[in-house]
Amino acid sequence: MTEKPRLMQGNEACAHGAIAAGVRFFAGYPITPSTEIAEIMATELPRYGGKFIQMEDEIASMAAVIGASLAGVKSLTATSGPGFSLKQENIGYASMVEVPCVIVNVQRGGPSTGLPTSPAQGDVMQSRWGSHGDRGVIVLCPSSVPECYTLAMRAVNFAEKYMMPVVLLTDEIIGHMREAIVPSVAQEKEIIDRKAPQCSPEEYQPYAPDENGVPVLAPFGKGYRYHVTGLTHDREGFSTMDPKKVSEVNWRLLDKVEKNRNDIVDWEEVDTDDAEYLVLAYGGAARSAREAVEILRATGVKAGLLRPISIWPFPEAPLKKLAKQVKGILVPEMNSGQLCLEVERLAAACTKVEGLFIIDGEAIPPLKIADAVRGMMK
């Protein structure tokens, strides 16, 4: 029987996509506009033998997720900007101890309590640099309900494959909109589970990297005993200040993302083959940008859209290629210009880069984007 499309909310798709990828533990604290993810997890996880727990705060939620993952369970939490800020210490800890987990951040207006029910994209740089220290990061950014499902699955896969926290960075627009989705069509073709040690417990080195620079951490309780610490550590897991060993682990945290960039980086192009002006947008803003490109094309302006799907690592190669082709690049964002800085770094030497920044709690109108592109033509 052909599966019928379902009308599904973005947050709902995130939850079901994560479960389809094998997530069986959720710890979180309710916060608008991400709360539906927790609600669905509370209902659905027990049906799959999983566990849901509401913690006392966001820091504890992140700690519980790390603990469950160390025990071998695929784990997820969900939050919004203020909670994401509170999680940063333990996100850094998860990065250092190389524990796979997924953090969904449904962005809202800020700073502080800000606008709990309004859209924003103000956590782009926090998702990259929020936790102190040098580390590789993977941040995926959906712009549709089906993509919430797909990228939730992909985030879990990347977390398990590269043994690290992965952020699914959505926003209030995408989290609360409803679209038709066929889950079986949206599913990733492969489900990835973390590697298991192939040596005896006596030979085991928890932080000895594989060919991709990724360690093989045995789940607690499987007979492989090792030390876990947020301190810089050696291959045995014990803290060290040896400059050679410190350099090895710090570079490895970066390189396991950078050296696998081709596996991680993803983007979408719309009408870029002959584009003379490029709109670069992501998340909720990309939906307005797509319509703006249609409006411009209908009036004879050769416009195109570049939509980063992986925000970090950023799709540098397609941007550099298009920057040599177009007369200007417009970056519309629901913030004061966060990703535009990255676009300027990569493309400003080749073409004009301008931003359209909206921080009033409203979605960016397509006509405003189209008018901004026409303004670049003068």
What average pLDDT does the structure give for the chain? 96
- pLDDT value of position 3: 83
Quick check: 256 and 136 in contact, CB under 8 A?
Answer: yes
The reply to whether the predicted model has a pTM over 0.75 is yes
- pLDDT value of position 185: 81
Task: List 303's β-bridge partners, or say none.
Answer: 277
Distance CA 327, CA 324 (A): 8
Backbone φ and ψ of 48, nearest 5°: -110, 10
Distance CA 330, CA 275 (A): 13
In this predicted model, what pLDDT tens digit does every residue of 281-329 receive, in sequence order? Answer: 999 999 999 999 999 999 999 999 999 999 999 999 999 999 999 999 9
- pLDDT value of position 348: 97
Q: Taking residues 113-136, what's their average pLDDT?
A: 96
- pLDDT value of position 133: 93
Name all domains of the chain by residue range, CATH numbers in brackets. Answer: 6-186 (3.40.50.970), 269-376 (3.40.50.920)
In this predicted model, what pLDDT tens digit does every residue of 29-62 receive, in sequence order? Answer: 999 999 999 999 999 999 999 999 999 999 999 9
What one-letter code names the amino acid at 66? I
- pLDDT value of position 1: 57
In this predicted model, what pLDDT tens digit does every residue of 188-218 receive, in sequence order? Answer: 889 999 999 999 999 999 999 999 999 999 9
